[in-house]
Amino acid sequence: MSATPIDLSKLPSPDIIETIDFDTLLSTLKAKFVSLHTKEEQAEISETLKLESEPIVRLLQLLAYREMTLRQRVNDAARRIMLAYAIDADLDHLAALVGIKRQTITPANPEKGTKAKMEGNADLRARVQLAPQRFSVAGPEGAYISLARNAHAHVLDATAISPAPCEVLVTILSRLDDGAAEASLIDAVVSALSASDVRPLTDKVTVKSAEVIKYEVRARLTFFSGPDRAVALEEANKAMKGYAEQMHRLGMEVTLDGIYAAARAPGVQKVVLEQPLQSIKASKTQAPYCTSIELIDDGVYSLE
């Protein structure tokens, strides 16, 4: 079993998910309605059904709409029991099947009136994918990664490598600040990996914090003329933040292509990237971390 989870987003659409079309449903209902009449009546009924103003047509439209919504409900229900699509409480139930529980990142504070910050769906889904790796007693890479990620709510990511025979190096990335793990978090992971029913007797396990590679993003954006310049800049900032968060994982590579793609929101004509000047590639024990994002409004594009 590979320690690299399957990319669920690349799986084909499930066969159980039906393509629903209102016009097709309406045509089917009309044909069925016509078939209920005698052959002598069918021609007249068919002509009547061509008139949108006819009450029977309105009724058939209503029935088609209701059937469409019911079929969509079936589609939604089917998706909710699939790991690739399940979210929130539905995902919690799928996670329970493999002994995984959504982690509490920050507990609720009734005195301050703040709600608990819970683990996001994407991170929980990734842990569920790794969960079967824990069932092995041979100490595979995926088992160590799964156990490390489940050890504490503040573990955002983990990797496991074997630098020498019978030696295992587990690297963890923290959710807090820039990702460098504090001693208490490392201790929690060490404890989880040292249990007698977890670690093979021949393995010497070392846990360390990720090496954080810091970088900043600075770019000048030229926009097409129009009233939505501020909106385009906001969307570019939002996309860039999302890309930076996505790349804040062990072994990821922040590419110039990725930065340009994030900055080029609808309405952006040109992107001049000032920082970084080259891609940032992290090893399995390193993680990129964006310290700042500065997208500068460089005006509106105009023909010289």
Closest to 256 measured CA to CA, from 271, 277, 234, 237: 277
> Which string of DSSP letters, residue by residue, matches 52-74?
TTSHHHHHHHHHHHHHHHHHHHH
The predicted structure's pLDDT at residue 4? 64
For 230, the enclosing helix (H) or strand (E) is helix 229-247
The predicted structure's pLDDT at residue 304? 64
The predicted structure's pLDDT at residue 3? 59
Per domain, the residue ranges of the chain are 1-83, 88-209, 213-300
The predicted structure's pLDDT at residue 236? 95
| Whole-structure pTM value | 0.73
The predicted structure's pLDDT at residue 200? 66
Q: Dihedral sign for Cα 136, 139, 145, 148, please.
A: positive
As given in the structure block, the two tokens for residue 144 are 């160590």
What pairing do the DSSP bridges indicate for beta strands 286-300 and 211-223? parallel
Closest to 131 measured CA to CA, from 83, 85, 176, 170: 83
**Residue carrying structure tokens 């329970």:** 96
pLDDT (tens digit per residue) in 68-87: 999 999 999 999 999 999 99
The predicted structure's pLDDT at residue 272? 96
* 169 in Cβ contact with 208 (< 8 Å): yes
* 94 in Cβ contact with 83 (< 8 Å): yes
Q: How far apart (Å, rounded) are the C-alpha atoms in residues 180 and 195?
A: 24
CA distances from 304 to 2, 184, 268, 301 (A): 56, 60, 18, 9
The predicted structure's pLDDT at residue 111? 86
The predicted structure's pLDDT at residue 1? 45
User: What parts of the chain have a pLDDT lower than 50?
Assistant: 1
As given in the structure block, the two tokens for residue 19 are 């393509």
